[in-house]
A and B are shown apart, each in its own frame.
Chain A
Amino acid sequence: MGGALLSLALLSPAIPADAAANADALLIQRCSVCHADARGQLARIAGQRKTPEGWLMTLVRMQNTHGLKISDEERRALVKRLADKQGLAPSETAPVRYALERRLNTVEQFESEALTQMCARCHSGARVALQRRSEKEWAHLVHFHLGQLPSLEFQSLGRDRDWFGVALKEVVPDLAKQFSVDDPAWKDWQAQTPQPVTGTWSVSGHLPGKGGFIAEMSVKSQPDKKDHYVVSWQGKYDDGSVLNGQGSAVLYTGYEWRAHVDVDGVAWRQVFALDHDALKGRMFQREHDEIGADIVAVRHESGNSRVLAVHPAYLKTGQTGTLTVVGNALSGKLALPEGVRLLKIIEQSPRRIVAQVVADRRALGVHTLSVGKTKGGTLAVFERIERIRVLPEFAVARVGGNGGSEARVDARFEAEAWARSASGEYRIGLVPAKWSVAPFNADAERDRDVEFAGAMNAVTGIFTPAPAGPNPARHLMTNNAGNLAVTAEVTDGKTALQGTGQLIVTVQRWNNPPIP
């Protein structure tokens, strides 16, 4: 699959107002050659519902494997129409949004071990859970898999069982029940009134290796283009550096926000879910999706008073700190927990309050703040750090470059601090750390993985893997793979604390489909 083909290029020329009707005509025009059934209806298409990325993957396969001829613009129109007409309800995508948001270090956990072994070993289980099909369509999918990938039943977790028999007799009926095309959630969702998205949004986010940021995002309709928007952003990281950008967005299925935003010459994608004047999701670099920020946003025009977040989200006792509270329609007094003393208000507006404060031991713990009657945002007050966790606990980096077609994939780690109170452990937040790597086990030590696999930036926690390809300096001329223990060292006053995680440095991911 061509990587370039697969990105949902959203800076698309106008789709006219009757885009839906045009797309329906296009479906008949372009798809009937192969998909017309005996009654002249389109077969195979109605019995499935999926995300925009899911439809994109199917259409790209129609092009690459079966020779469907459509322009990029037509494909965009078809993805839009199919995702609107046969999409997934928010409740259906909620448990597996990590795949759409490209959180590729997620360790999946599905109830059904059979499904995990049968279906989640080549791609994520989320790829399965992000589709709804009739039983017949799930069965077609199994035939397609074995027909297209005939070695599948000889691979590990294929050859230990009658893969095809189990797939048809056990997995298909199970999928049809669990992920049914007729799930009432979809009917309910279609009956809802459309949610507004234009206006100005307060955004709070956090980018690993860099820190928190606060931004304002303006969203305007594109003329004559239903569900298409122009976006611009202005913001600042907590460290003061700026974060400005602009781009465009499409709203699929009434809530699936997909935007391309150019931030200082770097292309970023936004994969958010719209939920009653709030946006939530992840924004990541298009070419390096491992670099991404968690986002929450609230729309000003909603008039809803909301506290989004507090930056920074923690405070050490005895130290003077500056807190920024972000939100919407904030009015009234900033209420601080007992033991946190207000020194002065530096700024107060309906969207932002900046306050200088100091905390004592009475405030130890995690507190929800409030502004006037509105509650929201959490502040953790701690005296000392008890424990450091490395996030993610397990990550994968990939060698790349070196003349090959695949860029390397960095790994980004963060140190999460925890404190202890009488009632148990509580999370402080993400704290700066000194980063290092060591061999994970004896094999890694013998093969000198630390030396060959890449370099850890001691300050940012970003691991940059080594170039791809065989390395003549290595035992058996293998490539620059490695198995490393990642250590974060955090100094809290005079105490040094450590947390560890694991990093697997492995080979390139040769195809990078929209849903992993």
Chain B
Amino acid sequence: MKKFSLLATLILPLAFATPAITHAAPTPDNVALEKNTAAPLVPGREYMVVANHPNLLHVLDLVSNRVLKTCALPDAFGPGSIQIAPDRRIAYLLNNRFGSIYGIELDACKLVFKADMALQKDERAKSFFSIAVSQDGRELYTVQNPTLLLKDHYEVGEPRLAVYDTAAGLNAKPERLFPAPRQTTIMQTGEDGALYILGADLYKVDVTNGKTEVVLPVRDWGRPGYGAPDVLYAWPIQTPRREFMVLYTAPRFQDEKQDLEHAEYKYGLLSLDLKTGKTEVRDFTTLSEIYFSGIRSPKDGNLLFSVLNGLRKFDIAAERQIGSADLDHAYYQTSISHDGRRLYLSGTLNDVAVFDTDSLKRITTIRLPGGDMSLGTAQVFIR
């Protein structure tokens, strides 16, 4: 298998030129990069992987809070949605402007898998944050949204669930294709082998035959006293709690009249336990500001952290904010350490902010070589 170029320190300063907003000139940490590019990951140690502009993948050592290594990625950046394989050796990444999925073996920064979403020449196909790996690591799933670009018109096709063999190499073609609902985004696999996909509803898919059922209605959730929820969630976070969780906002009506004008808007979470398949829907606060993502503590499922313009901590049962920290700029994504003590904020620009989950004090900031992470998903894992 072809090894793709590891990023030389030399080209890094150039990489800073692209984004509109960048903070960092290379820090001493980053200069030492070259030595580290091939550094194998240490079993039992906690890491974060995250991708950014212009098209880089970083492994962060979460013990020293430093960039351990930086791999250059092929093709184009975006969105940088990552899933870690069950053996924690390979990071799968949706990239190339939503058009290709890559597998990168992290110890050596080696490209081991590539699949293009478009399956024929006159097709444009995009996958919207849609990427998941089976529990045994043998299969990879994504929903592709194809359009035929014909000579004088376009023809939007039906979305399809594509199942790949992760051993298929650098020109992977799907093993199986099944029709999928429109408007689906992020997905996760359950321990029972089922694939859970978020769309107009939360679907459960049998990946052997494509059979799709609704496990949790979302758009038409029929929740008494509530109007339709809105879910916009681009982060398939693999949480230490092993839950597939997203945030919603929804109007809660005052009375039978169901008057939207006077409804109170709630923020809440939709969650599916990937171990048991059990779902949960509950409000955690009244909407007063926007959060892009959130995560619950692996130590205490009643604690939820959310982020956009500020970092907030909630007591879910009490529907009460119990902590808050100001931020120097917006962050899109929350991640949490497996011991529940550290919170990591990523996305948006090019630094990862590390917070203490008890005090909500900032411990440090890990600056990344390169530019904005934008809408990418970072993952925290123990090798």
Say if the beta carbon of A146 comes within 8 Å of chain B: yes
Contact partners of A154 in chain B: CB under 8 A: 128, 183, 185, 232
Q: How far is the CA of A371 from the CA of B183 in the complex (A)?
A: 66
Q: How far is the CA of A143 from the CA of B124 in the complex (A)?
A: 13
Contact partners of B128 in chain A: CB under 8 A: 150-151, 154
Interface string of B67-107 (1 = CB under 8 A from A): 00000000000000000000000000000001000000000
Interface size of A in residues (CB-CB distance below 8 Å) = 26
Residue from A43, A159, A165 having most chain B Cβ neighbours under 10 A: A159
Say if the beta carbon of A4 comes within 8 Å of chain B: no
Contact partners of A151 in chain B: CB under 8 A: 126, 128
Q: How far is the CA of A148 from the CA of B126 in the complex (A)?
A: 11
Say if the beta carbon of A144 comes within 8 Å of chain B: yes
Say if the beta carbon of A347 comes within 8 Å of chain B: no
- Is B232's CB under 8 angstroms from A159's CB? yes
**Chain B interface SS verdict (over half):** loop
Within 8 A of B (CB), among A87-105: none
Known: A154-B128, A159-B232, A160-B228. A35 touches B152 (CB 8 A): yes
Say if the beta carbon of A373 comes within 8 Å of chain B: no
Say if the beta carbon of B3 comes within 8 Å of chain A: no
The residue from B182, B232, B309, B328 contacting A164, defined by CB atoms under 8 A apart: B182
Say if the beta carbon of B223 comes within 8 Å of chain A: no
- Is A44's CB under 8 angstroms from B183's CB? no
**Chain A interface SS verdict (over half):** helix
Contact partners of A162 in chain B: CB under 8 A: 182-183, 200
Say if the beta carbon of A191 comes within 8 Å of chain B: no
Known: A154-B128, A476-B329. A147 touches B154 (CB 8 A): yes
Within 8 A of A (CB), among B104-126: 124, 126
- Is B154's CB under 8 angstroms from A143's CB? yes
Known: A43-B152, A143-B153, A147-B124. A159 touches B183 (CB 8 A): yes
Within 8 A of B (CB), among A11-59: 34-35, 43-44
- Is A144's CB under 8 angstroms from B153's CB? yes
Say if the beta carbon of A140 comes within 8 Å of chain B: yes
A308 to chain B, nearest CB (A): 47
Chain B residues proximal to chain A, CB less than 8 Å: 20-21, 98, 124, 126, 128, 145, 147-149, 151-156, 182-183, 185, 200, 219, 228, 230-232, 309, 327-330
Q: Can you name 23 A-B residue pairings with CB atoms under 8 Å? A: A34-B152, A35-B151, A44-B153, A143-B147, A146-B156, A147-B149, A147-B154, A147-B155, A147-B156, A150-B124, A150-B126, A150-B128, A151-B128, A156-B230, A156-B232, A159-B200, A160-B230, A162-B182, A162-B183, A476-B309, A476-B327, A476-B328, A477-B329
Chain A residues proximal to chain B, CB less than 8 Å: 34-35, 43-44, 140, 143-144, 146-148, 150-151, 153-154, 156, 158-160, 162-165, 469-470, 476-477
Besides A147-B148, A150-B126, A477-B21, 16 more A-B contacts (Cβ < 8 Å) are A143-B147, A144-B153, A147-B124, A147-B149, A150-B128, A150-B147, A151-B128, A154-B128, A154-B183, A159-B200, A159-B232, A162-B200, A469-B20, A470-B20, A476-B327, A477-B329
